[in-house]
Structure 1
Amino acid sequence: MNDCLNSYEKLQKYKIESMDLKINIIAALVAAGRASEVQSTMKAQKTDLTTRALRDARSFELAYNSACTLIEIKKYSEAKEQLDLAKRIGKEELMVEDYAEDEIEYELAPVSAQLAYVQQLQGQTQEAMETYANMTNKKSGDPSSLAVATTNLISLKGTKDVADGLRKLDRLVEKSTAPNQPQLIESLEFKLSLRQKEALYSARVLLLLHANKIDQAHELVSGLLGMFRDSIFPVLLQAAVHVREKKVQKAEEVLSRYAEKHPENSKGALLALAQIAANTNHFQIAADSLSKIPDIQHMPATVATLVALKERLNDPNGASSVLDSAIKWWKNAMTEDNKLGVFMREAATFKLNHGRDEEACQLYEELVKSSGSTEALAGLVATSARTDLEKAEQYEKKLKPLPGLKGINAESLEKTSGARHVDQAMKVEVPEEVKKQKAKKRKRKPKYPKSFDPANPGPPPDPERWLPKRERSSYRPKRKDKRAQVRGAQGAVTREKHDPSAANAGGASSKASHATTSAKAPEQPKASSKSRKKKSRS
Structure 2
Amino acid sequence: MAAALASLLKKTHIEDHDEILRSAEAALKQSKGDLETQHVKAVALLNLDRYSDAVTAIEAGGDKLKEKVRLEYAYALYKSGKSAEAAEIAAKGSQRGYSHVEAQARYRTEDFQRAAELYKQLSANQAQDAEADLRVNASAVDAQLEWSGKGAMVQNKRAARGDLEAFETAYNAACGSIARGELGQGEVLLKRARDLCESVEDMTEEDKETELLPIAVQQIYVLTRLGRHEEANKLGQSIGEKTFPDQSSKLIARVNSIAAAGVPSNPFLAQRLLAFDLETLKPDYPFAYQTAALEQNSSATELLAMKFGGVVDSTSKALSKQDGATLDRRLNGLSVVNAAAHARNKVGKDALKHFLPLLEKRPNDIGLILTIVQSYVQIGNLTSATVHLEKFLTKLENSANGSDLDMRFAPGLVGTLVSLYNSQSRREPARSALGKAATHWRTRSNHSRGVIHLLKAAGSSLTESQDPSHQTLARDIFQDLHDKEPSDRYAAAGLLAASPATAKSSDLSSLQPVDQLVKDIDVEALEAAGIAQPPASVIAAATRKRPAEEQQTKPKKHKKLCKSKMPKDYDPNRTPDPERWLPLRDRSSYKPKGKKGKAKQAMMAQGAVSEDSRPATPGADVVKSKQQQQGGGKKKKGKGNKW
| TM-score, structure 1 normalization | 0.49
| TM-score, structure 2 normalization | 0.42
